[in-house]
Structure 1
C-alpha cells in the first residue's frame, strides 16, 4: 500500500495525450483546423477587449473591470489548453512530460475556478445595479471591484494547488495514456498506481464548493433581479434589463450545468462514453471564452462606441503622419 512516499524510481516520465479515442485519423486535420480557428477567435476577441479597456478611460468602470478579468481568464485558459490540442492533431504531437502535464492541469483548473468566481461577481454587480440603483455608485466603486477580482484570482490559485500537490505525490507507474485533450485532475489521478479515492473525494468537494457557492448566489441574485425588473414601470427599461440578464444566464447555464453533470458522473462512477465526455468538457470549457467577448462586450453600446472612436483616432494619426507625395 502506498504510504505517501514519492517513488521516483518507477515514476513514468511522460504521458500520451490520446484525445478523442474514437476519432478516425482522416479527420485529424479538420479537428486541428477547428480548434485553431476557435483559439484565434477567442484570443483576438478577448485581447481586443483588453486593449480597448486599457486605452479608453471612459470604460474604467466596475462592470468593465469584471469583463477585463473575465477576458484575461479566457485568454489564459485557451492558451494553456488549445495549442497542445492543435499540435496533437496537426503534427501528431502526443507526448507531454510529467511536469508539463501537471502544470497544465493546475492552470486549467485555476482558470476554470477564476471564471466561476467572476460569474459570481458579475451577478453581484447586476444585483446591486438593478435592485439598489441608488446605492450602486457608492458601494460598487472601481476600487471595490478591483479588490473583489483580485481576491477571486488569489483563491483560484489556492484551490487547485490543494489537490495538485497531493496528486503530484501519488506514484505513477503506468499506464500513461490521458484520455482527454488536455491534462485535468480526473484524467491524471486515474493513472496513479495507488488508491486515489481520497484525492478524488477532496477534488470533488473543492470543485463543488467552487461551482455551487457562486451558483447559489447567482440563483439568489437573479431571483431578486427578476422581481425588481417586473416592478419597473417603463417597458423599455424592463426589456433592457431582461435582455442583459438573459444573455448572462445563458452563459452561466452553459458553464455550470455540463460541469455538474460530468463531476457527478465521475464521483458516482457512472459510465459515460469517453468521446461524449470529452466533447462535453471541451464544449463547456471552450465555448464560453469564444462567445464571451460578443455577448458581454461587443453587444454593449458603450464598448462599440469606444472601439469606433479608438479606431477613428488611430486612423487619423496614421493619415497625419503619412509623407506628403512630391
Structure 2
C-alpha cells in the first residue's frame, strides 16, 4: 500500500505518478514523447558529428552549438527514459538520492543552457557589430572559458537547491505527482518550513531567466542598430537572417520554462496535468527543435547533412 497519509516520515524512495489524471492515456502520450526523444538524439548527434568532422565549421558559433547539443542530449536522457518506464511498465519507484541527482542535472543543465544562449548572442553581436575582430576576440581558448564559466555558474547556482532539499528529512508523502523529480514538486511534499528553499528557487529562476534574457535582448538591440545602418536592403536582410535561428531557439527555450515556473508557483487552481505537460514541454521540445532549426537555417550545416545522406548514382 502506498504511504499516502497525513503523518510525516523519512522516505527511502519516491514514487513518480507520471501525469495524474491522464493515466489511462499514458501509452498514447508515450508515442510523441518517445518520437521527440529519438529525433533529439539523432538530430543533436548529427550536429555534433558534422561539426567535429567538418574543419570549416570549427568556429565560435559552431562550438557553442556543439555545447548546446551536448546539453540537450543530457537533459533529454536524464528525463525521457524514466518517463517512458513509467508510461510503458508502470515503473514509478526511484531512490531518494537518484531523485536528487536527477533534480540537480535538470536544473543545473537548464541554467548552463541559458548561459550558452547568452554566449551565442554575444557571438552574434561581435560577428555583426565588430566583424574584423571576431576571430581575435572569440578565440578557441576564450570560447572554452565561456563554456566552462557557464558550467560553473550552473553548478554553483543549483547546488544549494539540492542541499536544501537534502536537509529536509520528513515528508507528508513520497508520491511525486510528476514524470520526473522536479524541485517545486518535491518541495511541496515537505513537512516543515520551506521558505528558504522557495525564495532561493524563485531568486535563481528570476536571476537566470530575467538576467540572461535581458542581456540577450540588449545584444539584439545593438545588432538591430548595426543592421539598420547597412546600405542596402539585401545586406540588411542577409545579415539579420543569420540571427533568425538563434532567436527561434531562444524563444523555444525561455517561453516554456518561464511559463512552467510561473504556473507552478502562482497557478494553484490550474489542473495538475497542465502543470506537468508544460514542465515536460521545456525538456522535450527545445532539445528536439534546436538541431532542426539550426540545420534548416544554417547553410553550411544543411549542405553537409545533404552530402551525408546523398549517394552517387551509378553511371552506365
Q: Does the pair score TM above 0.5? A: yes
- Shift of the alpha carbon at 1:268? 4.3
CA distance in 1, matches of 2:200, 2:217: 25
Q: Aligned residue for 2:278?
A: 280
SS in 2 for 1:207: helix
- Shift of the alpha carbon at 1:167? 0.9
Q: Structure 1: which 5+ runs fail to align?
A: 1-8, 317-326
The answer to whether structure 1 residue 16 and structure 2 residue 26 are counterparts is no
Q: Aligned residue for 1:174?
A: 172
SS in 1 for 2:199: helix
Give the RMSD, CA atoms, in angstroms.
2.1
Aligned length: 306
CA distance in 1, matches of 2:249, 2:197: 30
Contact 1:200 1:267 in 2 (8 A): no
Contact 2:9 2:173 in 1 (8 A): no
Deviations 1:183-210 (A, max 9, x none): 1110111111111111111111112112
CA distance in 2, matches of 1:67, 1:216: 21
Compared with structure 1, are the counterparts of its residues 306 and 258 closer, same or farther at alpha carbon in structure 2 (3 Å cutoff)?
A: closer
Deviations 1:114-160 (A, max 9, x none): 11111100110111111111222221222211210121112212211
Deviations 1:45-74 (A, max 9, x none): 101111222222221110100000000000
The answer to whether structure 1 residue 70 and structure 2 residue 71 are counterparts is no
Contact 2:9 2:172 in 1 (8 A): no
Q: Aligned residue for 1:142?
A: 140
- Shift of the alpha carbon at 1:79? 0.2
SS in 2 for 1:48: helix
CA distance in 2, matches of 1:143, 1:309: 31
Q: Aligned residue for 2:117?
A: 119
- Shift of the alpha carbon at 1:240? 2.2
Contact 1:60 1:142 in 2 (8 A): no
The answer to whether structure 1 residue 35 and structure 2 residue 33 are counterparts is yes
Q: Aligned residue for 2:3?
A: none
Q: Structure 2: which 5+ runs fail to align?
A: 1-7
TM-score by length of 2: 0.90
Which of residues 87, 101, 125 in structure 1 aligns to 2:85? 87
The answer to whether structure 1 residue 58 and structure 2 residue 53 are counterparts is no
Q: Aligned residue for 1:243?
A: 241
